[in-house]
Chains A and B, each alone.
Chain A
Amino acid sequence: GAVVSQHPSRVICKSGTSVKIECRSLDFQATTMFWYRQFPKQSLMLMATSNEGSKATYEQGVEKDKFLINHASLTLSTLTVTSAHPEDSSFYICSARPRAAGPQHFGDGTRLSIL
């Protein structure tokens, strides 16, 4: 149980394009989901906490107008990278936790490459 699905797994697009990444909890409801970014050979960096039905909470230094988060249902959160540039190329990973107390479960990540 506790499966988190992320889509797409890989995106390659031109500079200036906006890219949407979906994160779904397949077998549980999640009022809170998390978005991370990971650069090569580095650890995961928390970008924001996605809250169902309300605004996301962004970590210091993360531009909320650049990384738009929508958590419209208990099973879906989306991250939109607006007007993406090559420096936004990274591995984006989401996670979610079942409503009962327990560990977070992670998606398989989305590799974003901006040309």
Chain B
Amino acid sequence: DAKTTQPPSMDCAEGRAANLPCNHSTISGNEYVYWYRQIHSQGPQYIIHGLKNNETNEMASLIITEDRKSSTLILPHATLRDTAVYYCIVRVATSGTYKYIFGTGTRLKVLA
């Protein structure tokens, strides 16, 4: 089972910040939070990941709460091309490696 829960859908006005929440209340101390997005009929695209500190790159910012039970992905100035399904993932350790179990994700629609 996925270790994360996300709202099924969100709308955001073009040019505004899109804040996508994720709950991961069972996360362990050394597990990272990963964010991906999937645009229709393509493979998921990596966005950002973090452990406990806030992270920022050219695509987005990731805010992780102090207790690490939830996080928020921030797209600072959403564009129409950011319309996609966004997945928050905490990987699961198994047989010497780690695997991703995808939840249902958040379908973000950026409105003109």
**Chain A positions near chain B (C-beta within 8 angstroms):** 4, 6, 32, 34, 36, 43-46, 49, 57, 91, 93, 95, 103-109, 111
Contacts and interface: CB of A to CB of B under 8 A. Distances in A.
Contacts, number: 51
Those 9 A-B pairs whose CB atoms lie nearest each other, nearest first: A106-B43, A44-B102, A43-B102, A106-B44, A108-B43, A103-B46, A109-B43, A32-B97, A93-B43
Interface string B73-112: 0000000000000010000001101011111110000000
Contact of B41 (A4, A45, A49, A91): A91
Nearest to B103: A43
Contact size class for B? 20 to 34
A43 B43 contact: no
B104 A43 contact: yes
A6 B43 contact: yes
A49 B102 contact: no
Given A32-B97, A103-B34, A103-B49, A45 B44 contact: no
